[in-house]
Amino acid sequence: MALSGWQRRLAWRGGLTRFLWLWFAFVFVFFSLSGTKLPHYVLYGYTGLAILMAVHGYEVRAVFWPLVPVLALFAGLLALPHALTFAAAHVGDPFYRETLGAALAGFDTVYFVFYGTMCAITLYAMLERATPVPRKLMAFGFAAVLSLGTLVVPVAGYAQQSSIKEAALLCRERQIDVVMWRLNAPSFSVYRGAPTPAREPRPGDVVLTKASRLAELPASLPYDLIYSKRGIVLAKIRA
């Protein structure tokens, strides 16, 4: 949505438009600075952005260029598994390598067929002139939100949180007291249903950490593994 300089100034002076911009900007900045970042957090700001686009949508006169970002989005999502495959082959940290591997396992044929089809439909829409651009954007927006919620976010959530959740449920089931060491995973306490202190491990502790961090434990703290999956471990320090 391209606006001239005077249109942008006029839009900013409007109370509703200013409120909608601030709505989206606050959510985006707040969760960008947050220590815990999950993919769905930015959705809380999309409502304001969607209303803002609806207010100014029919001011758009061009057909081809407004849909270029749409094509870029669907093409980027189509290429996402290939990008993750490349990243997994070059990342050094075992935790992130296993996390990327878990994400790659979630992309199936439906994923590629859907986003390949959406790329083709978008290319057609960029040339077709009978349908108003706002209607096209509405249809593509619906397809993007639906597909992100069903094809992308669950894969990202599983890859990022599945091992943390499994370890937390194991501790809750066995009533194990845990300390977190060199790992920032607030969701572990949520899944476990109890606060998890972060401190240096001591003899007798059960420690939640990354598998790559075990080599950093002092030689005076031998341990036995209780759980190990996708780069997350629970280690029992011998008393």
Residue spans per domain, the chain: 1-59, 175-237
How buried is residue 216: exposed, middle or buried, by Cβ count under 10 Å (0-12/13-18/19+)? exposed
Q: 184-229 pLDDT, tens per residue?
A: 999 999 999 999 999 999 999 999 999 989 999 998 999 999 999 9
Q: 41-77 pLDDT, tens per residue?
A: 888 888 888 888 777 777 777 889 999 999 999 999 9
Global pTM value: 0.70
Does position 239 have pLDDT exceeding 50, yes or no? yes
Pairing outcome for strands 223-229 and 232-237: antiparallel
Listed in sequence order, the residues at least 6 apart from 76 whose beta carbon sits closer than 8 Å to its beta carbon are: none
Spatial distance between the Cα atoms of 180 and 198, rounded to a whole number of angstroms? 5
Question: Residue 59 has which token pair?
Answer: 């001011």
Higher pLDDT, 108 or 39: 108
Spatial distance between the Cα atoms of 189 and 216, rounded to a whole number of angstroms? 24
Residues in the chain: 239
Does position 35 have pLDDT exceeding 90, yes or no? no
pLDDT recorded at residue 54: 77
Q: What percent of the chain has pLDDT over 90?
A: 55
How buried is residue 46: exposed, middle or buried, by Cβ count under 10 Å (0-12/13-18/19+)? middle
pLDDT recorded at residue 12: 55
Listed in sequence order, the residues at least 6 apart from 226 whose beta carbon sits closer than 8 Å to its beta carbon are: 170, 176, 206, 233, 234, 235, 236
Q: What percent of the chain has pLDDT over 70?
A: 93
pLDDT recorded at residue 98: 82
Listed in sequence order, the residues at least 6 apart from 91 whose beta carbon sits closer than 8 Å to its beta carbon are: 97, 100
Spatial distance between the Cα atoms of 234 and 78, rounded to a whole number of angstroms? 36
Q: Please identify which residue in the block is written with the tokens 């075992």.
A: 94
Spatial distance between the Cα atoms of 196 and 208, rounded to a whole number of angstroms? 9
DSSP state letters, 23-85:
HHHHHHHHHHHSS---GGGGHHHHHHHHHHHHHHGGG---SSGGGHHHHHHHHHHHHHHHHHH
